[in-house]
Amino acid sequence: MVTTTAGVMEQRVEGFPRHLLKDPSLLKTENFVGGEFVSGDSGSFAVFNPATNEEIARVSSFGKEETRKAIEAASLSFMSWKKSTPSNRSDVLRKWYEAINENAEDLSAIMTLEQGKPLAEALGEVRYGASYVDWFSGEAVRSSGGYMDLDNRRAMLIRQPVGVCAAITPWNFPVAMITRKAAAAIAAGCTFVVKPAEATPLTALALAELARRAGIPAGVFNVICGSNPKEIGLELSTNPSVKKITFTGSTNVGKILLEQSASTVKRACMELGGLAPLIVLEDADLKKAAVQTVANKTRNGGQTCISANRIFVHKSVADSFVSELEEIMKPMKVGNGVDSGVVVGPLINAAAVEKVKSHVDDAVSKGAEVVLGGKHLTELGENFYAPTILKNVSMDSLFCCEETFGPVLAVIPFENEDEIIERANDTDFGLASYVFTESLSKAMRIGEALESGMVGINSTALSDARAPFGGIKQSGMGTEGGPTGIHEYQNLKYVCFAADS
């Protein structure tokens, strides 16, 4: 590995509008390993602005060998970090939290330019991502074990860091999906190597620079980027020094990582795909339900795992509900996330647009009606798709079997409330579900019967650092954030003492 020169750095961010940053030194194009920004021997790859498809930077690409060296750096650093005190870990996380918040506007600008979400929303994500660091700064000193009286023996239960943790994170939340894993690992005394998505390395590298400034010791937090995710993923999931693998992304990739990590029996936390049902019962407050539904489907342009893919609405209120949705969605401005007033940005790339188009076309061919949108907005650029409402979507449409990842509301009418749980659960996925009703007993009954890790009752705002985030079935295993998030990075050890009288 060689450290690159400032001249190379300048060339690598030629296309980036640096005037948008208060502190352009946050823009990094080398990977962060052992406390230094370094490049490897595997060339570089381009980062594009999804709003314009312009190249904004070239980032150093790592392959298998460089990944192995990053794991070695994390292993070396684990030898001392595991002995750090909880207060020490809490303090450095607090400094990282403060640094993220102080640089929140720059982080948001970097995120919008490489990911596309509107600036205000990017700022919201930075604050949300920082809240995980805040939360785990507190958890570092709160996490404790236990004690049991076993008659003639005593049991001490202690929590110890699992070791080097490897993470693979997605492009849809370039800050929050890193911080909710990294902060938990660091709080537990683990060291961490993260491979961010190829589309969003710049935000991850800016987080690394802030971690360095915050005094997170060298090798505790490492960021490795690369244009060959399979090669890096294989090394991360098979290297025996890695003791835990954590991934947010598709179910298919999650299965591959689980299979690969089985040979060294790694612990795993998988946040995989979803196909969230959102159920609007006859007695729901339709206005409130519509506000929440649109917020859920336009957050990050519908590109979230907890986005409602199937919107089941009781037949008797379906038309009124669709009118409420239309009233909210129609005025939403679509465009480049840096432009003022824009609330829906581009999708991540042309393939994402193609997928959304194919879902809409499929539903329409099976009888759905387009109430709003239903168009590729080519006049804005290659990656824009109009906020869309479809009604009378049928159960055999692609919306009912594949995650769409776009700003499309697929409204499916239903008549029989007793069948709705079965219809909602008729999927291999189980991440999030939502129910809208004014009846407490229905909310309780349906909320408990839905097969998903998270259920929103009259709310779609599930995401919160203080609450456990995670799915069941093929949506994954383990939970992140909340009171148990740190446990994912700890081994629970039982120490037995003889207690002869």
Catalytic residues: 271
| E-state strands within 62-179 | 146-150, 153-161, 164-168
- Residues 98 and 214 sit within 8 Å (Cβ to Cβ): yes
198 or 271: whose CB is closer to ligand SIN?
271
Residues 269-288 that bind ligand SIN (CB under 6 A): 271
Question: Which lies closer to ligand SIN via its Cβ, residue 294 or residue 318?
Answer: 294
Residue placing its CB nearer to ligand SIN in the complex, 220 or 306: 306
CB of 141 to ligand SIN, least distance (A): 24
149-178 binders of ligand SIN (CB under 6 A): 172-173, 176
Does 347 engage in binding with ligand SIN (CB under 6 A)? no
227 vs 229: CA distance, rounded Å: 6
Q: CB 272 → ligand SIN: shortest distance, Å?
A: 9
Q: Is 274 strand, coil or helix?
A: coil
Which residue, 228, 442, 403, 400, is CA-closest to 303? 403
- x-marked contacts with ligand SIN along 425-464 as a string, rule CB under 6 A: --------------------------------------x-
Least Å distance, CB 410 to ligand SIN, is 18
C-beta separation of 184 from 136 below 8 A: yes
Q: Which residues make beta-bridge pairs with 459?
A: none
Distance CA 161, CA 337 (A): 40
Smaller CB separation from ligand SIN, 463 or 474: 463
Q: Is 200 in the site for ligand SIN (CB under 6 A)?
A: no
The count of residues interacting with ligand SIN (CB under 6 A) is 10
Q: How many CA atoms lie within 13 A of 27 on its CB side?
A: 27
Q: Is 409 in the site for ligand SIN (CB under 6 A)?
A: no
* Min dist. Cβ of residue 445 to ligand SIN (A): 26
Between CA 213 and CA 219, with CA 217 as vertex, the angle to 5 degrees is 115
In order of 236, 288, 309, 468, the CA distances from 278 in angstroms are: 36, 13, 8, 20
**x/- letters, 286..325, toward ligand SIN (CB under 6 A):** ------------------xxx-------------------
Q: Closest CB to ligand SIN among 103 and 479?
A: 479
E strands, 35-152, where?
36-38, 44-49, 54-60, 146-150
Residues near ligand SIN, by CB under 6 A: 172-173, 176, 248, 271, 304-306, 463, 469
